[in-house]
DNA sequence: CGATAAACGGACGAGGTTGGTCCGCTTAGT
DNA sequence: ACTAAGCGGACCAACCTCGTCCGTTTATCG
């Protein structure tokens, strides 16, 4: 993350320069979550309270900043998936990952777009995340807790779908709609649903 | 639909004028489905094989054309919901409506966006459609075939979600992914799921 | 406390997109 | 063959975005 600074090593940068990098990264985090991956450099600079000149002096490019910010969250997701694999109860592991995963997606519009692809950003964490999900679903399949006729790709798609619709037919979703949707989907996925 | 012609009544327009209106409406249908509600007037004119001048001579505005085209599909949806209400089996009625509804959404990117709102278009059919869905879900609730802890709004949201994710984590959905997602969701909604 | 280089802000330019108009040319209809 | 209706697309104005450049400010150090 600190590697965003253009000229690394050399000398310690001035205090205001360091402070502004921090502000820019913070602003980028909230901005990409609220606005999406198409958030402009000017908007991030405005939120950070710095000029656009400072933005381009501190950050190699708008893309690099967004990729760095999104990479943080993706790494977190992969870590959650890894921990879920260790759960002795495969179904609980899957549901706990699913909940964390969907919650992160619901909290960040930009992350949601990034996971959907076609946003021009380069995100190397996508493949590892996909692999972890496949393993996790495989686990659940072997334990017989997940419907056998549902391949792991379908799990990826339904989990992705759960966060997307914040409004429909004039209805406005509450902040926890993703949780309600997820419960329905998980019940639909469970091989032995508890009603 | 024919009311799109600016000067109605008066005299019968020339053959080429009538033909071009037809072409524009057809082009708008496919363009809004493939590109979305943000499709430009130039793009529609290009697809219709007419100049941009002809577009604005034949159509009051880009918005009016899109609204007319979307209204057609919305009316169709309302009609399907009405027929579903008449089904003696409330669960079958609900699933048949859900399938048709989701299929229409999956077939049109623009329709999907329009149902999500915030696209600036005025669509009076939204409220009737919402009412029909509420009635249909109420039917299913009374018959005890739909999980009682799921309000009709949740049904709206999960049905909306099913179509949205055509790609995630680097995966590309096939054309029938909506059907696979829908099956999972319907199983999650069913009070007496048949496995 | 200066001196000075680093850092800052934001005006600005280039490039792109969009909705919509206007006018010289074409063509359907009589 | 005449004419009014219609056509195409160059064009315009308004807007937005990225990224640079330069005059001003400020952190740091002797």
The pLDDT of residue A118 is 79
Which residues in chain A have their CB less than 8 angstroms from residue B115's CB?
A: 168-169
- The verdict on a CB contact (< 8 Å) between A165 and B170 is no
Q: Is the pLDDT of residue B13 over 90?
A: no
Chain B within 8 Å of A78 (Cβ-Cβ)? no
Q: Is A150 on the interface with B (CB under 8 A)?
A: yes
How high is the pLDDT of residue A195?
A: 46
Percentage, residues of chain B above pLDDT 70:
93
Q: Is there a contact between B193 and A189 if contact means CB atoms under 8 Å apart?
A: no
CB contact under 8 A, A154 and B193: no
Give how far A108 is from chain B: nearest CA, Å.
Answer: 15
Percent of residues in chain A assigned helix, strand, coil, to nearest 5: 65, 5, 30
Q: B169–A156: do the CB atoms touch at under 8 Å?
A: yes
Q: How confident is the model at residue B149 (pLDDT cuts 50, 70, 90)?
A: very high
Q: Is the CA virtual torsion B15, B19, B20, B21 positive or negative? A: positive
Q: Where are the beta strands (DSSP E) in chain A?
A: 167-168, 171-172
Token digits of residue B186: 């319907």
- pLDDT score for B164: 85
C-alpha dist (Å) from residue B61 to A45, A126, B19, B110, B112: 37, 42, 18, 17, 21
Q: Are strands B167-168 and B171-172 parallel, antiparallel or unpaired?
A: antiparallel
Provide the pLDDT confidence category of residue A26 given band limits of 50, 70 and 90: very high
Give the chain A residue nearest B162 (alpha carbons): A161
Span A105-144, pLDDT tens digits: 999 999 999 999 878 888 999 999 999 999 999 999 999 9
What is the C-alpha to C-alpha distance for residues B154 and A173, in angstroms, rounded to an integer? 9
pLDDT of residue B1: 57
Q: In angstroms, rounded to a whole number, what is the distance separating the alpha carbons of residues A49 and A27? A: 9
Q: Cβ of A184 under 8 Å from any chain B Cβ?
A: yes
Residues around strand C, C-beta < 7 Å:
A 13-14, 16-17, 19-20, 49-54, 56-58; B 14-16, 40-42, 52-53, 56-57, 61-63
């Amino acid at each position: 993350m600190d590697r965003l600074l253009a000229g690394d090593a050399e000398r310690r940068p001035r205090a205001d320069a360091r402070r502004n990098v921090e502000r820019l990264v913070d602003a980028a985090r909230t901005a990409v979550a609220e606005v999406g991956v198409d958030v402009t450099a000017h908007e991030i600079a405005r939120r950070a309270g710095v000029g656009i000149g400072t933005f381009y002096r501190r950050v190699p490019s708008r893309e690099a900043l967004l990729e760095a910010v999104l990479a943080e969250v993706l790494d977190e997701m992969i870590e959650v998936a890894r921990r879920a694999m260790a759960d002795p109860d495969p179904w609980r592991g899957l549901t706990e990952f699913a909940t964390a995963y969907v919650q992160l997606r619901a909290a960040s519009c930009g992350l949601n777009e990034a996971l959907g692809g076609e946003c021009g950003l380069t995100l190397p964490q996508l493949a590892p995340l996909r692999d972890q999900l496949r393993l996790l679903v495989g686990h659940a399949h072997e334990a017989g807790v997940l419907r056998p006729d549902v391949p792991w790709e379908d799990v990826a798609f339904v989990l992705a779908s759960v966060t997307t619709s914040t409004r429909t037919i004039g209805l406005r979703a509450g902040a926890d709609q993703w949780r309600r949707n997820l419960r329905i989907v998980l019940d639909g996925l469970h091989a032995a649903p508890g009603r």
